[in-house]
Amino acid sequence: MSAPLIEIRDISVGFTGKSGATLPVLRNIDLTVKAGESIGIVGESGSGKSTLALAAMGYLKRGLRLLEGSVAFQGQDMFARTRTELEKIRGGELALIPQNSGQSLTPTLRIGAQLIEALRLHSDVPQAEFSAKAIELLGQVRLPDPAAIMTRFPHELSGGQQQRAAIAMALAGEPTALLLDEPTTGLDVTTQAHILELLRDIARNRDMAMVYVSHDLGAIARVCDRVVVMYAGEVVLDGSTRQVLKAPVHPYARGLLASIPRLSDPRLPVALDGRPPAPGGAGQGCSFVDRCALAQEQCRSRRPVLERLPSGESVRCFRHEHAEDLSLTGSGAIPAKLDSDAVPALRLDDVAIRYNRPRLLDKLLGRDSASVATVDGIEITVAKGETLGLVGESGSGKSTILKAVAGLLPPSDGRITVAGGEALAPEVEQRSPDHLRRIQLIFQNPDDSLNPRQTIAQILEQPLKLYFGLSGDALHQRSAEILERVRLGAHYLDRLPSQLSGGEKQRVAIARAFAADPDLVLCDEVTSALDVSVQAAVLDLLNDLKSTQGTTYVFVSHDLAVVRALSDRVAVLYQGRLCELGPSADVYATPSHPYTEVLLGAVLEPDPDTAPTLSADDVVELSPPVRGCPFQRRCPRKIGPICDTDAPPWRYRADGHGIRCHHTIEDLETVQRKDVAERCA
Amino acid sequence: MTLAANPPRNTPWSRTISVLRDVMSRPSGAIGLFLVAFHVVLAIVSPWIVPHDYKAMNSAMMLTGPDAAHWLGTDHLGRDVFSRVLLGGREALLVTGIATPIAVTWGGFGGILFGLIGGRVDEVLMRVVDAFLSLPWILKMLVLIVTFGTGIEVLIPTLAFFYGIPVIRIARAATHDVVARDFVSAARARGHSRLTIIRRELLPNVLDTLMVEGAMRWSWMLLAFSSLSFLGFGVSPPTPDWGLMIADARGFMSFAPWGVLGPVIALSSLIIGINLTADALAKALGIDRAQKAPV
Ligand SMILES: Nc1ncnc2c1ncn2[C@@H]1O[C@H](COP(=O)(O)OP(=O)(O)OP(=O)(O)O)[C@@H](O)[C@H]1O
Ligand code: SF4
Ligand code: SF4
Ligand SMILES: [Mg+2]
């Protein structure tokens, strides 16, 4: 319809490597963005998505150079413009919203002042109307009470609110194009869904173009008309959202889709083995050849070109006609379900945990300390060989519970027992060596949980020496064996964590936990720092270890689909209180607790035909209410004052599936089914 | 980053070597190390290579300009400036070379201890450290030197003491950072003893920071030592020393600038060398000395 807004012509970007050679990060990329169009850029970590988005603004990170090609915005070459010209455009006509907008907002300035500054620099609004316009913008990004928000500092806003404020700032310059780099990564599912709806509406209403960079295909499906798939610095597929997500014609895109766990599919996702070549590491052939199931001789010797198909998409693959042979949801393993012999491996008995211990003065006066327990009334039994999933938004106390079980945070109330009914001492220092060995913990981020100064051998030796007193050859042999078990070879033993990829590091962390030969493994968001394809491999590994070792897991995640893929039973937490607990298939089916319903509604599937249902506001609560139901402030199905005053009772369905709500199971079932029917109609 | 097919071996030695290699591969590291090594070697061999006797006075040729015999001319007593510049770093390097490791050791030890104890004790002690640091250093040092006299046996402990105090802060902050990381929690949860955790998990990570800090402290200490000499509290004449030489020659700056220029260039090249090395070392060890701005 209109002239292209952003026109990227055959650009290559690279840096000078240690050896002095030029290593490309982006290779011959063509991309055109028309006015009002929203384009998603997806790819694994390191594929060059962010570099491309920044290059579209005429900006390159330090150390990177434009090797060839040009970038034009509204017909003018971005790399030929002067600094001042660029500064005028950036933040005005062309605005960027980075992943962590908490960092892009100035911490020492009030939101109002920052917005007014943006208006002064990038808009024609007369000075007298700055305040009114700023309040109007904050209202447009649906922040509650905009006038009050004006006077707040960034740190006084929640993550989602900061992101909204950043969007408001970007809108101040009436941009014709908005670049977003992972704008919702790290936000809670409900917050993410709300922000995406907001972006979608804004783009439509203002006829604004968007370039949306993300590794999350679910988010892309929601906001983009067109999707560009990147691999090793190249565009490998470019087509409409429907084409790319429903029937992608590139083997990599198919692999990527198959590696995403889905709520609708109880099977484990299929891992995409191997890893992408590093910059400069791709040979003369196709960069995907080492991981491609369709690869043939020609793929090694020649590099495929980006070919335009009659159906409208562009693809870089010799054998795209055969791509459909590769399954999209595929043959992922059915999660191992051990026959649980119903011996409890772990029992939490009315456990409560508070971060601030009761103050001495309060204790002396016999007063109740004002603080409400962070986690309260947790009653969970995990059977031997079972996987219990623990889900909830950030701040719901998932990690806190794991830390208490691991002995890193003593509970203030209640009892934790392990198999045989033996009570666990509250603190690690008092636990017996046997108890210590039987419970192992795996953390979210391997960069933080592996000592950067120890080699893999030294990391694995610690539990082996401590628990089994191994040394010499036996120690070495055992370490090598354990590495094999997590599908890494013995040749990794001499490496340092910094010489491993993210997925490999997490495997080492898993290997370290399994070196202790544990009964119970606590997994704290173990895949959330990983790419989806790597995540699938780690999930598969955990499942494999479970079936061979009979391990019991407590698996914490904010991602409901990931939890579903691995868990036998699921516990839903809100504000440190249990809302629902039952077999995973039941928890994910109707009826569910109103909070579970909100969570499930906000899940984004990588499918352009599904839409999230947003039934609760994305308010971040700082502390749980003192009385009544923990969800009372946000509950879309709230009954009335009874929810504010009385703790809701557990209501059970026949099969050990409990929901904690003042509604009866039947009531919930009726209203939820009715809503679903209405939505479909 | 990709890895070569045959993985690198990581022994304690290979790390030292690879860090050294990394330092030398950076321009700042190569220049810095060269300057430092040059000064250290010079300090050791200078007594044998100086062209003139450093204390031989010659009233016939005072404050002469550079010539073939006296490359940097002579000073107000007719002594050869070039010889004195060559020798003038010996005392400074000896004193600071001993005092720096002592300062880093005791300051590092104290800082790690405070960091581990934490809580109220730590808070109170850090307030004391802060109060101490807010006094001008030269004042503190002069009080001590005036009380106990000058000379190496006073200067070394004095410098070591004062320069250890800021190290406490750094070591404490580094300890806090490391203790908060998950690998320490993991070791705690496994049930290792406190000592093992300190030795295996904490120390190697804190020592990196201390090493860089040590290099920085060294350059500060050299400046302090030279300032003391300049003020007449350091090396006593006729022993040549850069600080002292600058003080002596400064009155004749306008017509005999070489007397000042020689020692100034010598001193600053050493200090710049140390700083460049510290910078490259910090980068090679992956320590953020300045907060990186997010892009
Ligand atoms: N300043 C730089 N100097 C050298 N190489 C760089 C620089 N910045 C990025 N790279 C490299 O360029 C490649 C692409 O990086 P980029 O940040 O664009 O990836 P990405 O797809 O956005 O990844 P992520 O999902 O992790 O954000 C990576 O291999 C990265 O290591
Ligand atoms: S060109 Fe060959 S190797 Fe590359 S994606 Fe296509 S089939 Fe696979
Ligand atoms: S008890 Fe009331 S507030 Fe709580 S979930 Fe049920 S209906 Fe909602
Ligand atoms: Mg990125």
pLDDT digits (tens, 9 = 90+) for B237-259: 778 888 888 888 888 878 778 88
Q: Residue A97: which residues within 8 A CB-CB, separation 6 or more?
A: A104, A163, A166, A167, A170, A178, A179, A180, A181, A183
Ligand 3 lined by A594 (C-beta under 6 Å) = yes
CA-CA distance, A234 to A48, in Å (whole number)? 8
Q: Enter the DSSP assignment of A326.
A: S
**SS3 per-residue string spanning A214-259:** CCCHHHHHHHCCEEEEEECCEEEEEEEHHHHHHCCCCHHHHHHHHC
Residue B294 pLDDT exceeds 50:
no
Residue A409, CA distances (Å) to A403, A424, B242 in order: 6, 12, 58
User: What's the pLDDT at A360?
Assistant: 53
Torsion of CA A494, A496, A500, A503, to 10 degrees: 100
How many other C-beta atoms are found inside a 10 Å radius of the C-beta of residue A282?
21
Are A294 and A326 in contact, with CB atoms under 8 Å apart?
yes
Ligand 2 lined by A304 (C-beta under 6 Å) = yes
User: What's the pLDDT at B127?
Assistant: 87
Which tokens in the block code for residue A325? 């042979």
Which tokens in the block code for residue B225? 């030592």
Percent of chain B with pLDDT over 70: 93
- The arithmetic mean of pLDDT across residues A400-418, rounded, is 90
CA-CA distance, A157 to A165, in Å (whole number)? 9
Q: How far is the CA of A196 from the centre of ligand 3 (A)?
A: 27
What are the residues of chain B with a beta carbon less than 8 Å away from any beta carbon of chain A?
1-3, 6-10, 25, 181-183, 185-192, 200-201, 204-205, 208, 286, 294-295
Residue A357 pLDDT exceeds 70:
no
Ligand 2 lined by A317 (C-beta under 6 Å) = yes
> Per the omega criterion (within 30 degrees of 0), is the bond before A649 cis?
no
Report the Cα A189 to chain-centroid distance in Å: 9
Q: Enter the DSSP assignment of A129.
A: G
Between A102 and A632, the higher pLDDT residue? A632
| Confidence band, pLDDT 50/70/90 cuts, at residue A337 | low
Residue B269 pLDDT exceeds 90:
yes
Each residue's pLDDT tens digit, A93-123 = 888 887 776 667 887 888 999 889 888 888 8
Specify whether the backbone of A525 is left (phi greater than 0), alpha (psi in -120 to 50) or beta: left
Mean pLDDT value across chain B: 82
Are A428 and A406 in contact, with CB atoms under 8 Å apart?
yes
User: What's the pLDDT at A521?
Assistant: 94
Between A330 and A145, the higher pLDDT residue? A145
| Confidence band, pLDDT 50/70/90 cuts, at residue B4 | very low
- The arithmetic mean of pLDDT across residues A13-33, rounded, is 85
Each residue's pLDDT tens digit, A524-549 = 988 887 888 888 888 988 988 888 88
B-contacting residues in A 46-65 (Cβ below 8 Å): 61-62
- The arithmetic mean of pLDDT across residues A165-190, rounded, is 85
| Confidence band, pLDDT 50/70/90 cuts, at residue A215 | confident
Does A1-93+176-224 match A344-572 in CATH topology? yes
| Number of Cβ pairs < 8 A linking chain A and chain B | 84
Q: Which residues from chain A sit within 8 angstroms of residue B6, using beta carbons?
A: 491
Q: Residue A90: which residues within 8 A CB-CB, separation 6 or more?
A: A57, A58, A59, A96
| Confidence band, pLDDT 50/70/90 cuts, at residue A2 | low
User: What's the pLDDT at A605?
Assistant: 85
Q: Please give the model's pTM, rounded to 2 decimal places.
A: 0.81
CATH 3.30.1020.10, domain B23-59+68-285, yes or no: no
Between A357 and A577, the higher pLDDT residue? A577
Hey, whose CA ends up nearest to atom 3 of ligand 3? A632
Residue A254 pLDDT exceeds 80:
yes
**Contact flag B189-A445 (C-beta cutoff 8 Å):** no
Between A291 and B288, the higher pLDDT residue? A291
| Confidence band, pLDDT 50/70/90 cuts, at residue A42 | very high
* H-state helical runs in A407-451: 433-438, 446-449
Closest CA to B190 of B182, B202, B179, B180: B182
User: What's the pLDDT at A450?
Assistant: 93
Q: How far is A433 from chain B (nearest CA, A)?
A: 7
Residue given tokens 């900061």 in the structure block: A162
Judge residue A110's burial from the number of C-beta atoms within 10 Å of its C-beta, 0-12 exposed, 13-18 middle, 19 or more buried. Answer: middle
CA-CA distance, A345 to A568, in Å (whole number)? 14
Task: For chain B, say whether A45 makes contact (Cβ under 8 Å).
Answer: no
Between A137 and A362, the higher pLDDT residue? A137
| Structure ipTM | 0.78
CATH topology of domain A1-93+176-224: Rossmann fold (3.40.50)
CA-CA distance, B38 to B175, in Å (whole number)? 35
Between B265 and B251, the higher pLDDT residue? B265
User: What's the pLDDT at B1?
Assistant: 38
Ligand 1 lined by A49 (C-beta under 6 Å) = yes
CA-CA distance, A459 to A462, in Å (whole number)? 6
Residue A330 pLDDT exceeds 70:
no
Between A298 and A616, the higher pLDDT residue? A298
| Confidence band, pLDDT 50/70/90 cuts, at residue A170 | confident
- The residue ranges of every structural domain in chain A are 1-93+176-224, 104-174, 344-572, 578-680
Q: Residue A679: which residues within 8 A CB-CB, separation 6 or more?
A: A613
User: What's the pLDDT at B292?
Assistant: 32
- CATH code, A344-572: 3.40.50.300
Between A523 and B231, the higher pLDDT residue? A523
Which tokens in the block code for residue A602? 């906000």
- The arithmetic mean of pLDDT across residues B142-165, rounded, is 83
Residue A179 pLDDT exceeds 60:
yes
Mean pLDDT value across chain A: 85
Residue A368 pLDDT exceeds 70:
no
Q: Residue A287: which residues within 8 A CB-CB, separation 6 or more?
A: A231, A232, A233, A234, A276, A277, A303
First to last CA, chain B: 20
Lowest mean pLDDT among A463-467, A552-556, B16-20, B28-32: B16-20
Between B13 and A637, the higher pLDDT residue? A637
Q: Which amino acid is at B200?
A: R
Q: Residue B133: which residues within 8 A CB-CB, separation 6 or more?
A: B165, B166, B169
Hey, whose CA ends up nearest to atom 4 of ligand 3? A629
User: What's the pLDDT at A363?
Assistant: 53
Q: How far is B9 from chain A (nearest CA, A)?
A: 5
How many other C-beta atoms are found inside a 10 Å radius of the C-beta of residue B56?
11
User: What's the pLDDT at A237?
Assistant: 94
Ligand 2 lined by A232 (C-beta under 6 Å) = no
User: What's the pLDDT at B98?
Assistant: 93
Lowest mean pLDDT among A88-97, A250-259, A514-523, B217-226: A88-97
Lowest mean pLDDT among A113-127, A153-167, A630-644, B51-65: B51-65
Between A149 and A229, the higher pLDDT residue? A229
| Confidence band, pLDDT 50/70/90 cuts, at residue B293 | very low
Q: How far is B205 from chain A (nearest CA, A)?
A: 7
CA-CA distance, A513 to A462, in Å (whole number)? 10
